[in-house]
Amino acid sequence: MHSGGTEGRESWRDSWEAAREGTVAVVDCRQEIPCNPCEEACPTGAIRVGPDICAVPRFDPRACNGCGRCVALCPGMAVFLLDRREDDGFARVTLPYEMGRRPVEGEEVQVVDGEGKALTGGKILKVRAVGGKAPTLLVTVKVPEEAALKVRGLRYRLIERDAFREADEVPSFSGYPICRCEDVSMERVKDILQAGLRSLTALRRASRVGLGYCPGMFCQSSLREELARAAGRGEKEVGAFKVRPPVRPVKLGLLGGENA
């Protein structure tokens, strides 16, 4: 549960019990790195790092007043608040939130664990800002008690994967630019192919595909595949663009001896 050994696990158990009486912090710091903002932020001395700045913080839930300053100032987002006073099977978890969309009280959200995996649904009860000119938002979410110690973040929707479909079931779309440099669409290429072209170089002369900044590096494979299908030939039979050097774009300043 906690990389801080027996002492870390005991502080979690103590925080769980203390949350029956009021809001208390839970410290889930797993990294032995030079970091101690939580110690400096705590007004009651409940969090101690000590002279070894790389040590995992030691936490005394009995000294915590639930102010949330450690939650807002921890750069690793490794501290959250827990409140179980309602005794209704739900816990109130307060998390730091640094995403662009500001949460709104009363919204339904999904809560996730430390790996971003969905745990359960939750409801936002409170949103407050802690800090000066660039404050951190602290969001209090109501979640089932059994998920409370696992919650590390929230999001507004789950990413759902569409059911797989066969290629012939997907509607075709040909209006996209196959050659971005010359702004030639796949629809335009297919129209030209109806004239009976049988080589990639002929297609380039007729449509200007592959004559732009990238000399066909990004569109050639797709064009070769489309031409082979239209001509009923193998991809090797339709040929390839002859790319004149430089093969990759080079600024003229470099060729002129300028330092860039």
Domains observed in the chain: 5-155 (no CATH), 167-252 (1.10.10.1100)
pLDDT score for 246:
62
Which tokens hold the place of 252?
């003229």
Q: What is the pLDDT of residues 169-206, one digit of tens each?
A: 656 666 778 888 888 888 888 888 887 777 777 888 88
Q: Over the Cα atoms of the chain, what is R_g? A: 30
Task: Identify the weakest region by mean pLDDT among 50-59, 76-85, 124-133.
Answer: 124-133
Give the β-pairing of 79-83 and 90-97.
Answer: antiparallel
> Could you tell me if 85 and 21 are in contact, meaning their C-beta atoms sit under 8 angstroms apart?
yes
Lowest mean per-residue pLDDT among 44-48, 98-102, 136-140, 252-256: 252-256
Give pLDDT, residue 181.
84
Report the distance separating Cα 219 and Cα 214, nearest Å: 9
Predicted structure pTM score: 0.57
Tokens of 245: 């050097």
Which tokens in the block code for residue 102? 């500001």
DSSP state of 49: -
pLDDT at 248: 65
> Mean pLDDT throughout 213-236?
81
| pLDDT, tens only, 78-106 | 999 999 999 899 999 999 988 877 888 99
**Nearest CA among 105, 88, 89, 87 for reference residue 97:** 105
Rounded average pLDDT over 18-35: 89
Q: Please check the confidence at residue 160 and state whether its pLDDT lies above 60.
A: no
pLDDT: which is higher, 213 or 90: 90
User: What percent of the chain lies above the pLDDT cut of 90?
Assistant: 30
Q: Which two tokens stand for residue 193?
A: 């192919």
